[in-house]
Chains A and B, each alone.
Chain A
Amino acid sequence: DTAVSQTPKYLVTQMGNDKSIKCEQNLGHDTMYWYKQDSKKFLKIMFSYNNKELIINETVPNRFSPKSPDKAHLNLHINSLELGDSAVYFCASSQGLGSLSPLHFGNGTRLTVT
């Protein structure tokens, strides 16, 4: 019954590898997001998709590439992983396009790059 689910929960990998994180929401929401939370708990939006269209593309390295096959799914692929990519990555969804729609978050994927 999980509303926003992301896999895997933990991801440990070496520098230079490529990895993907998957996200699915069953809330029927139109908009999905990727957030990065660093070790100091700072939340930074990375990307947002509305009905499969990219609408927010923050200044992140182009090693990060989101993909939304349909409005219920948003994946994040990361190429050539670096130590600084270690963080918790949260997927979220909302109904509506603007910043006023409450966000529903997944439980996060803790990425550790060694």
Chain B
Amino acid sequence: AQSVTQPDIHITVSEGASLELRCNYSYGATPYLFWYVQSPGQGLQLLLKYFSGDTLVQGIKGFEAEFKRSQSSFNLRKPSVHWSDAAEYFCAVGSNAGNNRKLIWGLGTSLAVNP
């Protein structure tokens, strides 16, 4: 079955610390991977995506993610977290196979940042 797992429901880091949010997927076709961020009271915004090529992708707000096919993972990283990064982060997977039109979403990781 197709699924996306974000093992960490909630993470707290100190401002300035590094961050890694985990995402694992189970998908039959070639996966196309996304990270979205949802700030409080806002809609979701695309941080970055991976379709093909270099497995390390850069996104907005200083985020990056690395696709590891052998581990079925697409973890999101940031070297130094800012207080404004406190938000909900969602990993999602899609495909260009067949008639696929829906993203599969993870349940999200809530990030809190301590001053």
Contact = CB atoms under 8 A, between A and B. Distances in A.
A38 B110 CA distance: 15
A41 B43 contact: no
A110 to B, nearest CB: 9
B95 A106 contact: no
The 8 closest A-B pairs by CB, nearest first: A105-B43, A99-B94, A105-B44, A102-B46, A41-B108, A43-B105, A107-B43, A99-B103
A48 interface: yes
A43 B101 CA distance: 16
Interface string B100-114: 111101011010000
A92 B101 contact: no
Contact of B107 (A42, A90, A92): A42
B43 A99 contact: no
Which label, helix, strand, loop or mixed, suits the secondary structure of the A interface? Answer: loop
Given A4-B43, A107-B41, 15 more contacts: A42-B107, A43-B44, A43-B105, A90-B43, A92-B44, A98-B101, A99-B94, A99-B95, A99-B96, A99-B102, A100-B32, A100-B51, A103-B46, A105-B45, A107-B42
Contacts of A4: 43
Measured as residues with beta carbon below 8 angstroms from the partner, the interface class of chain B is 20 to 34
Contacts, number: 60
Interface in B34-56: 34, 36, 38, 41-46, 49, 51
Contact of A55 (B44, B49, B51, B101): B101
Interface of B: 32, 34, 36, 38, 41-46, 49, 51, 88, 90, 94-96, 100-103, 105, 107-108, 110
29 contacts: A4-B43, A41-B107, A41-B108, A42-B107, A42-B108, A43-B44, A45-B103, A90-B43, A90-B44, A97-B101, A98-B94, A99-B32, A99-B94, A99-B95, A99-B96, A99-B100, A99-B101, A99-B103, A100-B51, A100-B95, A100-B96, A102-B46, A103-B46, A104-B46, A106-B43, A107-B41, A107-B43, A108-B41, A108-B42
